[in-house]
Amino acid sequence: LSVNRWPAGGKRSSESCPSSRPFFFFPSFLLRSLSVHDCSLNYPLGKHVIHEVANVSFSHLACEDQAGVVVHWAPSPLGIEHIKGFRVYLEDKNPEGKQCQHLLLKDPRQLNFSHKNTKMSSQPFSGLTFDTDYMVRVVPFPTLMNESFFPPSFLRTNSCEVLLGSGNLVCKPFWKPKTLNVSQLGSNLHVAFDQAPPSFGFHFYYLYYKLRHDGPFRLQRCKHDVNQPRTTCVLQDVSPGTYTIELRDENNTTRRQTQYHVSQVLSPWAGPIRAMAITVPLVVMSAFATLFTVMCRKKQQENIYSQLDEESSESSNQSAALIAERPWPRPKVFICYSNRDCPKHTSVIQSFAYFLQDFCNCEVVLDLWEHLEMCKEGQMSWLSRELDDAHFIITVCSKGLRYYVEKKSRRGKTPVSRRSNNSSSSSPIGGSAGDLFTVGVAMIAEKLRMAKQSEGDGGAQELSRYMAVYFDYSTENDIPTMLSLAPRFKLMDQLPQLFSRLHSGHSGLSEREQQPLNVSRRNYFRSKSGRSLYVSICNMHQHVGQNPDWFERQLAPKRTREKQHTGRGLESFLRRHSSENDSTVPWRPESHPL
């Protein structure tokens, strides 16, 4: 006899639990009379009382690396002669996971009082979760009572270690280090990462590393240190270049990858050599200076043109050939954004800036790359100069940018022209100390307004410098009202239009050549920088999907802190005001006119 398992909704399950023994202990004449029907069919209520089954028990087994269970029971002698079959239900907390087996006796009145101690068993219920509670209900039919009249039984599946063995990889939870930090010390690389808990049983970790465009990976084995929470591996004598570093455990089930650029290490004798060079004859020094100048100019000229990824598709190679034949000037692009959204949004901004520089052949100005210049000039001076010097100004709109810009606009803070360069010279754009990105947006909005007013006197060209963009995890509603005059682009859907605008000033190119073949929302991630941007956008999508109210939750504690800070500030002001007016009478809150 072959008895199948059916879900409660009527669809047949594709999983089965293999077994070498039968699961029904009916007499032979009952086995020949059993048939299986769909549990979704509704049968009319009976005319007789049938009591609930007795002696319900369970057998646990493993089914294709998952838990399984067989239900056993004995029919009650009360109403046994009216039983035509049984329904066995198994369900967990999720109603969609309900399973049902329907057993029907073809010949009526086949059971009698002599079968009251007959042990009956279901087919295996497979696909169950290890160490999980389930409810089982065995219902004889037809009966006068509803199915809810029959009391359920409860079971808990065995753990993975009991059913499959503690050595089975299925029973080991997946682990990945939270952090993977790389630092350079001389010509050596120090790779530090969090160790796995002792329950994983790891004794060694394996670091695979190679130059980005080099051959196969090289291997460095790192020993697990039980006395330290982190392990540090040293990669000795690495040559300069960009390295791909991948961490794996000894079972090759955990992987985490990162990239790091190794800088050239200067020799400690460089200073004395330069001092000795002063004493050489003037002719030799002039020749050396000439050669050095030529090499520097050649290096600068090579850095003007970005190289597309060597692993790009054929279309990317054609685009690279086009750039080599017709070198384009690199437009200078300033990026304004809010880094008060979340770290994953900031990661998208950095990847986007690198993508514009590496893939779109632009010279990008990003505050995260300009800390030294900002410290030298002061933030306001640096911001004003970069806004004037940039060929294009891209404002990346997001929830945080609109919230803080409009919040500042509502509060009516000090105008931009009155701000001091030293008021926030120690915090980057978007920092908590000054929120300078809100000042940047206000300056951009003012420039847009002035360009719109002088549109007939060359203002149209000035207006085309400004662009408002948003990624597809944001919406068009995230664009602040004060930037409504700027053209807007949705990334990465409108990447070709953005690229064309960035290079629209190259009159030497025909209209067909203004957009390379590889600039498309479908294949931009075929380059290294494009893949990095694609991964960052996917990570932000995942963060928004898992935390739909992420921005609101981020604001909640901050509002509480601001409220407390305001209260303390008011109390301090009242104390000072009282002490100045009446130095002899101590200030008491209950007697103050407020």
The tens digit of pLDDT for each residue in 492-535 reads: 888 888 888 888 765 444 444 445 545 777 777 778 888 899 99
What's the rounded Cα separation, in Å, for the pair 484 and 142? 71
Q: What is the pLDDT of residues 310-322, one digit of tens each?
A: 444 444 454 454 4
Q: Which structural domain, as residue segments, surrounds residue 205? A: 173-262
> Quick one: three-class SS letters along 451-476?
HHHCHHHCHHHHHCCEEEEEECCCCH
Q: What tokens appear for 158 in the block?
A: 């065995």
The answer to whether residues 480 and 337 belong to one domain is yes
Is 218 within the bounds of a domain? yes
Which residues make beta-bridge pairs with 466?
A: 393
The answer to whether residues 128 and 185 belong to one domain is no
Q: What is the pLDDT of residues 220-275, one digit of tens each?
A: 888 888 788 888 889 888 888 888 888 887 666 666 677 777 777 665 555 566 56
Q: What pLDDT is attached to residue 277? A: 64
Is 286 within the bounds of a domain? no
The answer to whether residues 517 and 376 belong to one domain is yes
For residues 279-288, give the mean pLDDT. 79
Per-residue confidence band for 102, with pLDDT thresholds at 50, 70 and 90? confident
The answer to whether residues 473 and 333 belong to one domain is yes
Is 287 within the bounds of a domain? no
The answer to whether residues 477 and 334 belong to one domain is yes
The answer to whether residues 438 and 485 belong to one domain is yes
The CATH number of the domain holding residue 185 is 2.60.40.10
For residues 461-469, give the mean pLDDT. 88
The answer to whether residues 498 and 518 belong to one domain is yes
The answer to whether residues 197 and 234 belong to one domain is yes
Q: Are strands 332-336 and 392-396 parallel, antiparallel or unpaired?
A: parallel
pLDDT over threshold 50, residue 32: no
pLDDT over threshold 60, residue 92: yes
Number of domains in the chain: 4
CA dihedral 341, 344, 345, 349 (to 10 degrees): 140
Q: What is the pLDDT of residues 63-81, one digit of tens each?
A: 888 899 999 998 888 877 7
Is 187 within the bounds of a domain? yes
The answer to whether residues 542 and 554 belong to one domain is no
Is 299 within the bounds of a domain? no
Which residues make beta-bridge pairs with 190?
A: 183, 234
Is 267 within the bounds of a domain? no
What's the rounded Cα separation, in Å, for the pair 189 and 238? 7
Helices (H) and strands (E) in the chain, counts: 14, 22
- Please say which residue of 164, 192, 208 terminates a domain: 164
pLDDT over threshold 60, residue 86: yes
For residues 288-293, give the mean pLDDT. 83
- Please say which residue of 230, 262, 294 terminates a domain: 262
Query: Which position has the higher pLDDT, 256 or 56?
Result: 56
The answer to whether residues 233 and 334 belong to one domain is no
Taking each helix axis from N to C end, the angle separating 379-389 and 436-453, rounded to the nearest 10 degrees, works out to 40
What's the rounded Cα separation, in Å, for the pair 551 and 400? 8
Q: What pLDDT is attached to residue 308? A: 38
Is 295 within the bounds of a domain? no
**What type of residue sits at position 88?**
V
pLDDT over threshold 80, residue 7: no
Per-residue confidence band for 425, with pLDDT thresholds at 50, 70 and 90? very low
Q: What is the pLDDT of residues 407-418, one digit of tens each?
A: 888 776 555 444
- Please say which residue of 164, 182, 212 terminates a domain: 164
Report helix, strand or coil for 159: coil
The answer to whether residues 158 and 180 belong to one domain is no
What's the rounded Cα separation, in Å, for the pair 329 and 352? 20
Q: What pLDDT is attached to residue 113? A: 77
Is 288 within the bounds of a domain? no
The answer to whether residues 158 and 182 belong to one domain is no
The CATH number of the domain holding residue 87 is 2.60.40.2160
In the chain, % helix, strand, coil (3-state, to 5) comes to: 40, 20, 40
Q: What are phi and psi of 344, to 5 degrees?
A: -70, -35
The CATH number of the domain holding residue 537 is 3.40.50.11530
Average pLDDT over all residues of the chain: 75
What's the rounded Cα separation, in Å, for the pair 537 and 524? 13
